[in-house]
Amino acid sequence: MAISRANIAMEIKRPGRKKKKKKLNIKKAIKKPGALRKELGIKKGEKISKAKLNAAAKSKGKKGQRARFALLLDKVRKKKGRA
């Protein structure tokens, strides 16, 4: 950013201005809803157990990525519920 009188004036008026924190858009992050459930062989209405998620998270490829992401979302959801 170039130094100009306008920029200096902005800094004098608002010193230490912080940028807004970007919110995560979870809906955009989930590309294929239900894909992990299909890979694990669990029917649509049933919950995926924590043990199955942990086991799947250790595997490689897309299955592992999806399981790790599901564990992360679970942590985010719990954290949001407490606050």
The answer as to whether 80 is a domain residue is yes
Q: Whats the size of the chain, residue-wise?
A: 83
Q: CA 69 to CA 76: how far, in whole Å?
A: 10
Q: Tell me, yes or no, whether 77 lies in a domain.
A: yes
Domain with 69, as residue range(s), is 33-83
pLDDT at residue number 69: 93
Query: For residue 78, is it within any domain?
Result: yes
Q: DSSP assignment, residue 50?
A: H
Domain-embedded: residue 14: no
> Average pLDDT of each block of 10 consecutive residues along the chain (83 residues)?
65 64 77 91 92 94 93 83 62
At residue 61, what are phi and psi to the nearest 5 degrees?
75, -160
6 occurs within a structural domain: no
DSSP state string for 26-57: HHHH-SSTTHHHHHHT--TTSPPPHHHHHHHH
> Cβ–Cβ contacts within 10 Å for residue 66, how many?
22
Answer yes or no: are the C-beta atoms of 64 and 57 closer than 8 Å: yes
